Structure 1
Amino acid sequence: MKVLVPVKRVVDYNVKVRVKSDGTGVDIANVKMSMNPFDEIALEEATRLKEAGKVTEVVAISCGVDKCQETLRTGMAIGADRGILVQTDVELEPLAVAKLIKALADKEQPQLIILGKQAIDDDSNQTGQMLAALLGWPQATFASKVVLEDGKATVTREVDGGLETLALTLPAIITTDLRLNEPRYVTLPNIMKAKKKPLDVTTPADLGVDVTPRLKTLKVVEPAKRSAGIIVPDAATLVAKLRTEAKVI
């Protein structure tokens, strides 16, 4: 069984991002970049399935600039067998990414695609669902447990009311949540081995996909600073302030 795992290069989650002075976007010059944490969880799960004998090959794929090769090398150090980079300098939107992954899926013919539920830079939470629609495959989002058996995937997913268990017929799409697993520490020997694993580079044009942006960012601003809270002496005062000052009741 072949598994595709899309991974995205994002600003490291420990970095406090800053908005550019002209408000055109976020300043990423000289900022540490890393693999999207949700995608790292997806790659860890695919690697564990391979180690359990359920999967024969794990292919990490990424869409973006040339430096995404570093992210793919990290993915191969975690456990991916090879990597594919769809290289482009265009700022990709979720639909464009979904179309690129579909084109690769048509070529690679995987039985399963596991990806993070969202990226921490745009928090769109759209690519997995769009990809499932484009491919016509069943999907299970926000997975906290994945079991492969007899050509089916049993996925426990987190919903507002608790947990929901779905049985999917492969091929299928799974998006991962935080509680699915804890990604392993990448060791130096595995980093060295990853340098020798194959990494193919292609372009959207090679795949026949138009990635022209459909949205335009007008302005990016810092979120408003939250004011300090206040302590009220009793419930009556709280209700009065909610009614007269906050005007929410």
Structure 2
Amino acid sequence: MKIMVPIKRVIDYAVKIRVKPDKTGVETSNVKMSMNPFCEIALEEALRIKESGLATEVVAVSMGPTQCVDTLRTGLAMGAERGIYVEAKGDLFPLSVAKILKKLIEIEKPGLLILGKQAIDDDCNQTGQMVAGLLGWPQGTFASKVLLDKEKQVATVEREVDGGLETLCLDLPAVITTDLRLNQPRYATLPNIMKAKSKVIKKFTLLDLNVEIKPDLEIVEVREPPKRKAGVIVSSVDELIDKLRNEAHVI
């Protein structure tokens, strides 16, 4: 079985985000970029499934500007056998990404698509659900535990919900999106980083895939959240209740 894992290049989680002066987006020039943390978890899970003998190949996929190839190399250094890069200019919103993935899945025919539940730049949490809808595949979202039965061609997904834990049984092929508690991603070792340089990355264009991208959203303005006001120290419970009732108006 082949597993496909989409990975996204985002601003590193440790970087302080700065809004552009014209408020059209966030500043990305001269900013450290890295693989989306949820995508790292998805790739780690795919690699563990392969190492357990339940899959034969892990294919990493990324799309966007040329720099996405660097992110793919990181995925290859973690252990993916090969990569697929789709060249695309401009912003790619979830539905556009889902359409591209659908075309790649029709070409590669994987038995399982594992991807992060969301990206930390837009927090949309939509791509996995959309690609499952386009393909007509069963889906297990926010997975905190994944078990595969190769003989029965079934995936069991445990996911956290408001009421506790929910267990889903999915017929393969299926789409699974990963949550933070699923695993701890590995670090790429120096030997594997060197090996990744010789691994194959196949390039596609939107024309090759016959996918027409249309903007689904319009960004009107990006603003920083308002600064939090300084706290107030109160001397008694009665004073606290008075301020909550008459100033904050929360009770």
TM range (shorter): over 0.9
Identify the residue that residue 177 of structure 2 maps to in structure 1.
175
Contact 1:90 1:211 in 2 (8 A): no
Identify the residue that residue 186 of structure 1 maps to in structure 2.
188
Identify the residue that residue 195 of structure 1 maps to in structure 2.
197
- How many angstroms apart in 1 are the aligned matches of 2:171 and 2:235? 58
Alpha-carbon offset, residue 235 of structure 1: 4.0
Identify the residue that residue 4 of structure 1 maps to in structure 2.
4
CA-atom RMSD, angstroms?
A: 1.2
Identify the residue that residue 32 of structure 1 maps to in structure 2.
32
One-letter amino acid of the structure 2 residue matched with residue 93 of structure 1: F
Identify the residue that residue 214 of structure 2 maps to in structure 1.
212
- SS of the residue 1:164 aligns to: strand
Identify the residue that residue 101 of structure 1 maps to in structure 2.
101
Query: Which runs of 4 or more aligned residues in structure 1 lie more than 6 Å from their structure 2 counterparts after TM superposition?
Result: none
Identify the residue that residue 133 of structure 1 maps to in structure 2.
133
Identify the residue that residue 240 of structure 1 maps to in structure 2.
242
Q: Where does the alignment leave 5 or more consecutive residues of structure 2 unmatched?
A: none
One-letter amino acid of the structure 2 residue matched with residue 131 of structure 1: V
Alpha-carbon offset, residue 217 of structure 1: 1.1
Alpha-carbon offset, residue 203 of structure 1: 1.2
Matches within 5 A, 1:59-78: 59-78=59-78
- SS of the residue 1:26 aligns to: coil
Alpha-carbon offset, residue 245 of structure 1: 1.3
- How many angstroms apart in 2 are the aligned matches of 1:19 and 1:49? 40
Contact 1:8 1:36 in 2 (8 A): yes
- SS of the residue 2:188 aligns to: coil
- How many angstroms apart in 2 are the aligned matches of 1:235 and 1:166? 47
- SS of the residue 1:241 aligns to: helix
Residues 162-211 of structure 1: CA deviation (Å, up to 9, x unaligned)? 21111111011100011111111111110111111110110122111111
One-letter amino acid of the structure 1 residue matched with residue 157 of structure 2: V
Contact 1:144 1:180 in 2 (8 A): yes
Identify the residue that residue 42 of structure 1 maps to in structure 2.
42
Identical amino acids, percent of aligned pairs: 64
Identify the residue that residue 122 of structure 1 maps to in structure 2.
122
Alpha-carbon offset, residue 63 of structure 1: 1.1
Residues 55-105 of structure 1: CA deviation (Å, up to 9, x unaligned)? 101110011011100011110111111100111112100110011101111
- How many angstroms apart in 2 are the aligned matches of 1:122 and 1:67? 19
Alpha-carbon offset, residue 234 of structure 1: 4.1
One-letter amino acid of the structure 2 residue matched with residue 199 of structure 1: I
Number of paired residues? 249
Alpha-carbon offset, residue 158 of structure 1: 1.3
TM-score (norm 2): 0.96
- SS of the residue 2:15 aligns to: coil
Residue in structure 2 matching 1:154, options 156, 172, 181: 156
- How many angstroms apart in 2 are the aligned matches of 1:133 and 1:233? 56
TM-score (norm 1): 0.97
Contact 1:117 1:176 in 2 (8 A): yes
Q: Where does the alignment leave 5 or more consecutive residues of structure 1 unmatched?
A: none
- How many angstroms apart in 1 are the aligned matches of 2:241 and 2:132? 47
- How many angstroms apart in 2 are the aligned matches of 1:9 and 1:159? 28
One-letter amino acid of the structure 1 residue matched with residue 37 of structure 2: P
Identify the residue that residue 82 of structure 1 maps to in structure 2.
82
Contact 2:95 2:216 in 1 (8 A): no
- SS of the residue 2:142 aligns to: strand
Alpha-carbon offset, residue 216 of structure 1: 1.6
1:54 aligns with 2:54: yes
- SS of the residue 2:207 aligns to: helix
- How many angstroms apart in 2 are the aligned matches of 1:161 and 1:84? 39
Contact 2:143 2:182 in 1 (8 A): yes
Alpha-carbon offset, residue 112 of structure 1: 0.4
Contact 2:139 2:170 in 1 (8 A): yes
Alpha-carbon offset, residue 40 of structure 1: 0.5
